[in-house]
Amino acid sequence: MRTQRWVRVFCIVGGVLLTVIGVRYLLTPESAARTFGVPGRPEGYELYYIIGLRNVWLGLLAVAFAALREWRALALWFALGAIVCFADGSIAASSTGRLPQVAFHFGCGLACVGLAAGCWRLGRRVS
């Protein structure tokens, strides 16, 4: 039970953080883009809004899955999230991203791998 509680807490925190990142893209897109590791000024803000909305709904989805104890859904969510994090890190590395931005993305990818494994184990135990 203790492991389940910790995994649930980390999943909720991860979802909330992704939601906050998404909201930041919507409110301060140029700053958020530079933190992400891409140029702060593409032609318009459409790209930032897309990234922001993506992060908001995906973050809230993770929170909902964790709150409902949908461990298999969370395992899939985090497994796919790991792929996205590693891809984001590669994009940042080939653009204007520096070591802190690239490390952030790859670190998040590794965290997603760990959370996916933890959620999968919990899902197998519960069912």
For 30-68, the pLDDT digits (tens) are: 888 888 777 777 777 777 887 888 889 999 999 999 999
Q: pLDDT, tens digit, for every residue of 69-117?
A: 999 999 999 999 999 999 999 989 998 889 999 999 999 999 999 999 9
Gap between the Cα atoms of 2 and 30, Å rounded: 41
Residue span of the structural domain in which 16 resides: 2-126
Question: Quick check: 1 pLDDT over 80?
Answer: no
Whether the full predicted model's pTM is greater than 0.85, yes or no, is no
Residue 54 vs residues 49, 86, 115, 124, 126: alpha-carbon distances, Å? 8, 16, 20, 29, 30
* Mean pLDDT in residue range 3-24: 87
Do residues 55 and 102 make contact, with C-beta atoms less than 8 angstroms apart?
no
How many domains does the chain contain in total?
1
What crossing angle do the helices spanning 46-67 and 2-27 adopt, rounded to 10°? 160
> Which residues have C-beta within 8 Å of that of residue 113, sequence separation ≥ 6?
78, 79, 82
DSSP element (H, E) containing 11: helix 2-27
- Looking at residue 105, what is its pLDDT? 95
* Mean pLDDT in residue range 15-44: 83
